[in-house]
Structure 1
Amino acid sequence: MYQLVEEKVRKMLDEKRFIHSKNVVKAAVALANKFDLDIEKIKIAAIAHDCAKNFSDDELLKKANYYGIMVDEIQKRCPFLLHGPVGAYICKYEFEIKDEDIFNAIYYHTTGRKGMSIFESIIYLADFISEDRNFEGVDKIRKEAFENFKKALLLSCNSTLTYVIEKNNLIHPLTIEFRNWIILEGENT
């Protein structure tokens, strides 16, 4: 199944984004081994997480409408946030992947959400720490991912929020709920 999904994703993405997705697979597999999760499922979610990333804002909004995705005010103003939800529906209906873990991991990989499963959190974090990422603090987060997973999630969320604030962009409420949940769940992070 993974090979079929990889080929479909390869056709949807430009070369740089496809290389990123392959790097996310590597990071996700390494993390999944730590938690003894289904490697095939992790690989599918990781390779497909950005399958809608190369869509234009208009295409994302049209696809969201087509799939019946409820688009909130922030997503209307920042349609790139829809690449996760749209990608999840593409996987479900066009790739015929009916797995709920894969669907949710792709759907929430950009914003995070309160109560994320380990599976979902691995895709979120693998996307953040993939070897093609190069920003201040990423090496620390990579190290923490294997030493203190919850702390790595918090650091990655904090980094995202700092970036969004510095760009003077809107912050999606799911990301705030995600950050607060991480802190409340892991008092010792």
Structure 2
Amino acid sequence: MRYSEEKILNLLSEWLDEKLFAHSLRVRNTAKEMAQKFGVDVKKAALAGLLHDYGKGIKKTDIIFEAKKLGLSINSAEEYDPYLLHAPVGARLIFSQLGIKDTDVMQAVSRHTVGEPFMSKLDMIVYIADMIEPTRSFPGLEEIRNLEGKQLIEVFELAYAHTLHYLIRNKKLIHPKSFEVWNWIQLSKEKEIY
């Protein structure tokens, strides 16, 4: 990594608007707490949590252009809702702009919105931390926040189910990969992988 945490914080505060920067700090702190609980590298969780929305520094109107420039393929759901691209775009940009070459951190940033089959523990932590950070509020949140006695995959399942319910209830497009992620969660629970 080229930059110290202090330097990254300074760059991030200029790159993101004030509200998004504050959100990133809360996700970092939540990810650190979760990493301690679930035995994941706390420094990686903190960095991935801090940088998870780096792609939102790109204007929504420019994100498809940026994704194409970075060599990402774009499906119809992403074309319809370019917001879905901020995660993979952000992962590529933290590599090219910040010199962060940690593949675990880049992967967690890339997967924090839609997810991916075979999520790592770090990937799941960043996804969940983004959803449960302290200022979030929605019905069912407390069940997701209550980590006591739960395996990480169980918490991820609750969080992912909430996202799917939200999309269906609001008649939104569902990313094609979401079905693969949901099936992977169910198979992982059956095999007790996590």
TM-score of the aligned structures, taking structure 1 as reference length? 0.93
Cα deviation, 1:103-160, whole Å, max 9, x if unaligned, reads 1101110001100011111111111111111111111100037633211111111110
Establish whether residue 21 from structure 1 lines up as the match of residue 37 from structure 2.
no
Query: Any idea what SS the aligned residue of 1:147 has?
Result: coil
**CA RMSD in angstroms, aligned pairs only:** 1.7
Pair 1:185–1:61, CA change in 2 (3 A): same
Match of 1:43 in 2: 46
Aligned length: 189
The answer as to 2:135 corresponding to 1:142 is: no
| Partner amino acid, structure 1, of 2:48 | A
Q: 1:114 to 1:145 in 2, by over 3 A?
A: farther
Aligned to 1:184: 187
The whole-number CA distance in structure 2 between the counterparts of 1:45 and 1:77 is 27
For the residue of structure 2 that corresponds to 1:29, the secondary structure is: helix
**Displacement over 4 Å in runs of 4+:** none
In the alignment, is the contact (CA less than 8 A) between 2:121 and 2:152 conserved in 1?
Answer: no
Indicate if the aligned counterparts of 1:2 and 1:40 stay in contact, CA closer than 8 A: no
> Could you say which residue in structure 2 is the equivalent of 1:6?
9
Query: TM-score, with normalisation over the residues of structure 2?
Result: 0.91
Q: Measure how far apart 1:166 and its partner are.
A: 1.8
**Which whole-Å CA distance do the structure 2 matches of 1:126 and 1:182 have between them?**
18
In structure 1, the gaps of 5 or more residues are none
Distance 1:145 1:62 in 2: 43
Moved more, 114-123 or 13-22: 13-22
Superposed counterparts of 1:1-189, under 5 Å: 1-144=4-147, 147-187=150-190
**Percent of counterpart pairs with the same letter?**
33
Q: 1:186 is paired with a residue of what secondary structure?
A: helix
CA shift in 2, pair 1:80/1:159, >3 Å: same
